[in-house]
C-alpha cells in the first residue's frame, strides 16, 4: 500500500469548516497537508491540535490570486508527506488547476484516490464533480460533493462545524466508500440526502461492470484534460 493513501490535503484549513474537516481526518489517522488562504496562525492551531493525534502535518499558503504558486503548494505537500491520496476542497479555496495537479499524484501512486468538493449549491448535470467522477473512475479515483446550502445569498453555510458535515467527509474518505462516486450529499441542518450524479447514474451502489472498471490503476497514467 502506498503511504499516500493515508495522507490528505485539506484546503481552507484556516476556516472553521476546514479546521473541523482536518481534525476529523486526523481522528481517522490521516496525515495532513493543511492549505490556508491568509490566516497562518489559525492553520498552525489546526496543525498543532492534529499533531496531538499522532499524525504528521505540513502547512502551505494557497493563494488563488497567485495561481502558479497555489498549484506549486500541492507539489510541496507531496514532497514533504510522500504524496497524498485525498483532496478535500472547502468552498472558494481551490481551482480546477489545483485539482488537476492533485490527480496526477493520485494516479502516479497506483492506489487511486478520493476527491471531496464541499460546495454551497447543488451541482447540476454536467457539473465539475460529475464530470471528474466519470473521467477518473478508471483510475480508482472517486469524486463526490458535500453540499452545504447557504441560508441566504452572501451568508455563511449553516452548521459549518457540525458533526454531520465531518461525518460525511469521513465516510467518503473511508474504505467503506471505495465505490461511491459522482454523488452529492446535501447537509442542510435537518437531514443528509444523497443525490447520485445524473449523467452517469453512479451512486453508492454500482453495477458489477462498473466495479470491474474501477480496480486500482497500476500502469502508466494516460493524460486526460484533468491530468495535463
Q: What is the pLDDT of residues 139-194, one digit of tens each?
A: 999 999 998 876 444 444 444 556 788 999 999 999 999 989 999 898 876 667 77
At residue 190, the pLDDT reads 62
pLDDT at site 219: 37
Q: Which three cell numbers stand for residue 29?
A: 489517522
For the chain, 228 residues long, give each residue's pLDDT as a single digit of tens: 455 568 999 998 888 889 999 999 999 999 999 999 888 999 999 999 999 999 999 999 998 888 888 899 999 999 999 999 999 998 888 788 899 999 999 999 888 999 999 988 776 655 788 889 999 999 999 999 998 876 444 444 444 556 788 999 999 999 999 989 999 898 876 667 777 654 333 333 333 333 333 333 333 334 444 444
The per-residue pLDDT for range 116-126, each reduced to its tens digit, is: 999 887 766 55
Helices (H), the chain: 16-27, 40-51, 67-81, 96-109, 128-136, 163-172, 208-213
Contact 226, 100 (CB under 8 A): yes
Cβ neighbours of residue 199 closer than 8 Å, sequence gap 6 or more: 125, 126, 130, 131, 134, 182
pLDDT of 123: 67
Give the three cell numbers for residue 219.
500502469
What pLDDT score does 4 carry?
59
Distance of CA 62 to the CA centre of its chain: 15
How far from chain centre, in Å, is Cα 111?
A: 16
Classify residue 214 by its DSSP letter.
T
The CATH fold of domain 3-213 = Rossmann fold (3.40.50)
Amino acid at each position: 500500500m502506498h503511504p499516500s493513501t493515508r495522507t490528505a490535503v485539506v484546503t481552507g484549513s484556516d476556516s472553521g469548516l476546514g479546521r473541523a474537516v482536518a481534525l476529523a481526518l486526523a481522528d481517522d489517522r490521516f496525515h495532513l497537508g493543511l492549505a490556508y488562504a491568509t490566516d497562518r496562525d489559525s492553520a498552525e492551531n489546526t496543525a498543532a491540535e492534529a499533531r496531538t493525534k499522532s499524525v504528521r502535518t505540513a502547512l502551505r499558503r494557497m493563494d488563488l490570486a497567485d495561481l502558479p504558486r497555489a498549484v506549486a503548494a500541492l507539489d510541496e505537500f507531496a514532497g514533504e508527506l510522500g504524496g497524498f491520496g485525498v483532496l478535500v476542497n472547502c468552498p472558494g479555496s481551490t481551482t480546477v488547476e489545483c485539482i488537476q495537479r492533485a490527480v496526477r499524484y493520485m494516479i502516479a501512486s497506483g492506489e487511486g484516490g478520493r476527491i471531496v468538493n464541499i460546495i454551497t449549491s447543488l451541482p447540476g448535470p454536467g457539473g465539475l464533480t460529475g464530470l471528474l467522477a466519470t473521467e477518473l473512475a478508471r483510475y480508482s479515483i472517486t469524486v463526490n460533493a458535500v453540499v452545504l446550502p447557504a441560508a441566504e445569498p452572501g451568508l455563511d453555510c449553516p452548521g459549518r462545524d457540525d458533526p454531520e458535515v465531518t461525518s460525511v467527509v469521513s465516510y467518503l474518505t473511508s474504505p467503506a466508500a471505495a465505490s461511491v462516486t459522482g454523488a452529492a450529499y446535501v447537509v442542510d441542518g435537518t437531514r443528509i440526502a444523497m443525490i447520485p450524479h445524473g449523467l452517469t447514474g453512479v451512486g453508492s451502489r454500482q453495477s458489477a461492470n462498473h466495479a470491474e472498471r474501477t480496480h486500482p490503476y497500476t500502469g502508466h497514467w494516460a493524460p486526460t484534460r484533468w491530468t495535463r
